[in-house]
Structure 1
Amino acid sequence: MNPKVIKIGDPEPALTFIFTMLTMCIWGVYAGIFTGPTSLALGLVQISTFIPYLICSILFYLRGETMMGTICLIFATLFGGIGGVLSVAEGLSYILGFEMSTQLGSIPFLWGAISLIPLLISVRKTASALAFLCFTCVVFFLTLITLVSFGLIPESANLLIKWTCLFVATSGIYTFVNSLLRASGCKCMPEGKPLFK
């Protein structure tokens, strides 16, 4: 009797959902659509995604996909861990009245932007136009957030961050829906041919 082979499913749709959902929350902060302080609530949402993010990274590693496993683990650390804890701390600083600088947190996000560059290089000939532009915009907005945080570019760049976040969130949820359609054998919506040959 042959042992049953367990096939590990693709965690990418779940990862895309988690990341783009967080990006939409960040867009809401930059767009000013929420009433009252948002740091504490955003931090709790971010921390809530850490375990699912971590599970996705482990599944990628088990599938032998080192690149995606590494990127997923990095972003679990950045958004679920570092970003979540810093946002909670910032929220508590408002409530309890102590001063806190969050500039240090910008360095990990810049490192996260840099970590996506090898991914962009490796998928440039295979990723759809929409997916490639989405990943590129992630690099863009993470870099801009760091530059604004350190005063290297004016805060007027927050407008560009806001719209870039919105593009990442909406293009990401579009590719998430397509990923589920593809997984269930349904016809996918168009995403555009790869931009590079």
Structure 2
Amino acid sequence: MNNKLIKEIKDYMISITVALVIALLFHTYVFARATVQGPSMQPTLHNNDILFLEKISTETSNVKRGQIVVFDSKDENGDYYIKRVIGIAGDTVEIKNGHVYLNGSMLNESYLSSNNITEPSTDESKYIVPDGCVFVLGDNRTNSKDSRVLGPIKIKDLKGHAVVRVFPFNKATVF
């Protein structure tokens, strides 16, 4: 082999390595793909919907009410759940008369189906969100394991928030 060919192979290897490192960093800290499993976010999201998540806001603890987030459930199966952020640190979330109240005001939840009723999962109906946490609920309240059962979710357990649904193609949506 001549030196020119060896140099060219070396240059390609360096380029490929740099591209892989950038892709890995991008996937780890910026964007990720997620597939919805189960009915807990209906009617907003359905089983097998494919989303892209933005991760920077969760890495910097810049999470906002209304965002759809993916988090580590910490269950024995290592499941990840997808839910909507209802309350952030310092908020009081109360569930009464089938509705959710945030800091004393009833939430206008236009993303819920019209027959959706929110009930507390236990005798507890009032939650104060601690620092470093969020309170999440599924949009399908009668079929969702969320903060009513799991308690507040630590921001460090959030894996990202949904920015776009890419599949099915006819339901592509920017959140």
TM-score, normalised to structure 1, is 0.21
Higher helix share: 1
Which structure: larger Rg? 2
**Higher relative strand content:** 2
TM-score normalised over the length of structure 2: 0.23
